[in-house]
Structures are given as C-alpha cells and as structure tokens.
C-alpha cells in the first residue's frame, strides 16, 4: 500500500462526507449523554475541511494533516474540536520524514497521544480514546497483514459497543455519573465513522 496523492484526496473527501452524513446520529447520541451538539460540531468542521480539499490535496502529507488539524480546531468547537484538531496536528508533525504504510502506527500513535495529553484522558473513560487506542493497538499488531483493513474495521466497531457499559469520567457525559452508563459515546462513534471511511476508501482504491 502506497498512498498516492489522489488516494489521500479521496480519503479526506470520503471521511468528511461520512461524518457529515452521520451528523444526525452523532447528535442523537450526544442528546442522550451530553448537550446534543456533537453532530453539528463535526458537520461544521468537516464541511470546512471539504472546502479546503483542493489545497489539502496539493500539500505534502505532513502539511495536509496539519491543515486538517488547524481547520478542525478553528471550526468544530466543543470539547471534540481541540481534541480532533490535536490528533491531526500531531499526526502531521509526526509524518515529516516518515513513510506509509511502514510508519502508520507511529504516526497514528502520535495523534492518539496528543488527544490523551490535551484531554488529560485515557482508555476506559468513555471517550473517543476508547476507539482510537484499540485501533492503534491493531495497527501496531497487524501492520503488514493482508487483512489489516478488515481487522481495523472490526476493532473500531467492537470498541464503540464497549463504550455502552462504561461510566464516563471525562467530558460532559461525566456530569451524569452512573446515568452515562447504557449509551454509546458520541466521540467514540465519530472516531469509528472516520476510521471506517478510511478503511472503505483504501479497500476501493488500494
Ligand atoms: P462537548 O462535550 O463540549 O459538547 P462534543 O459534543 O463535540 O463536545 O464532543 C463530545 C465528545 O468529546 C465525547 O463524546 C467524547 O468522546 C469526547 N471527549 C470529551 N472530553 C474528552 C476528553 N477529555 N478526552 C477525550 N475525549 C473527550
Ligand atoms: Mg456535545
């Protein structure tokens, strides 16, 4: 798998479109355990990313990731904006001098660490990290395997479902205490939508 510029453009386009298409679902999830804005926050951010798609697709990969990060920081808002922004900014920083797919886990891991540092959060607290960390583990364990994409897809789906019995200890949902139990975390779901979009695009355009 080598990442051609037109493949990267498709990755960004499909990921943004999938997030935008999921806005209603993300909002419904956030209505249950938050303030009901996660869908509109993410839609606003990824519409801004789509608006910069031509610029993003002509930039080197490290710069392109940073442009996505800056755009999300400026437009998403809420808790998730700075967190997703940090993910892409740090992944862009880490991308310089690296190659894909060899360094994929390294680059993705830098993004995950940045979310954890920014959010002062860890796995098991019912946040987007409960999808991002398991996906990172699968990338580390399975890079180079022929079925990597399928394993990443399944990891993300299963990780979302594992947020249901968790009690939130970070973010707005933590205000609910035990009442946060029994619901999917909205940010975990949006991370899954992004990961699945990347998987589908890479399957269609290896
Ligand atoms: P807000 O909570 O400010 O309304 P959003 O609704 O856009 O922001 O995003 C909520 C999501 O952000 C949560 O579902 C959770 O996944 C994620 N989140 C919130 N706080 C943290 C944190 N400290 N670390 C990681 N993720 C977090
Ligand atoms: Mg919210």
Span 62-78, pLDDT tens digits: 999 999 999 999 999 99
- Probe ligand 1: pick from 34, 42, 79, 164, max atoms within 8 Å of CB? 79
Quick one: average pLDDT of 91-108?
A: 93
The ligand 1 atom at the shortest distance from the C-alpha of residue 191 is 16
**Distant-in-sequence, close-in-space partners of 154: CB < 8 Å, separation ≥ 6:** none
pLDDT tens-digit map of 145-184: 889 999 999 999 999 999 999 999 999 999 999 999 999 9
Query: For ligand 1, what atom is nearest to the CA of residue 77?
Result: 7
User: What domains are there in the chain, each with its CATH number?
Assistant: 5-203 (1.25.40.340)
Nearest-CA neighbor of 21 among 194, 188, 140, 157?
194
Q: For residue 185, which atom of ligand 1 is closest to its CA?
A: 14
What is the model's pLDDT at position 2? 57
From the CA of 171, which ligand is nearest? 1
**pLDDT confidence bin for 1, thresholds 50/70/90:** very low
pLDDT the model gives residue 206:
56
Considering only CA atoms, which of 183, 194, 197 is closest in space to residue 29? Answer: 183
């Amino acid at each position: 798998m080598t990442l051609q510029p037109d493949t990267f453009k498709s990755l960004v386009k499909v990921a943004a479109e999938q997030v935008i298409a999921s806005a209603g679902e993300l909002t419904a999830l956030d209505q249950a355990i938050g303030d009901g804005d996660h869908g509109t926050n993410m839609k606003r951010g990824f519409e801004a990313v789509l608006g910069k798609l031509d610029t993003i697709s002509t930039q080197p990969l490290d710069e392109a990731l940073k442009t996505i990060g800056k755009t999300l920081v400026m437009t998403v808002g809420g808790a998730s904006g700075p967190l997703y922004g940090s993910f892409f900014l740090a992944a862009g920083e880490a991308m310089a001098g690296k190659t894909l797919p060899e360094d994929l886990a390294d680059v993705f891991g830098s993004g995950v660490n940045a979310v954890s540092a920014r959010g002062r959060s860890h796995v098991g607290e019912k946040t987007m990290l409960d999808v991002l960390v398991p996906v990172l583990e699968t990338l580390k364990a399975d890079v180079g395997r022929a079925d990597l994409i399928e394993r990443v897809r399944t990891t993300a789906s299963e990780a979302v479902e594992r947020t249901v019995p968790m009690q939130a200890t970070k973010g707005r949902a933590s205000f609910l205490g035990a009442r946060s139990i029994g619901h999917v975390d909205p940010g975990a779901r949006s991370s899954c939508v992004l990961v699945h979009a990347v998987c589908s695009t890479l399957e269609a355009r290896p």
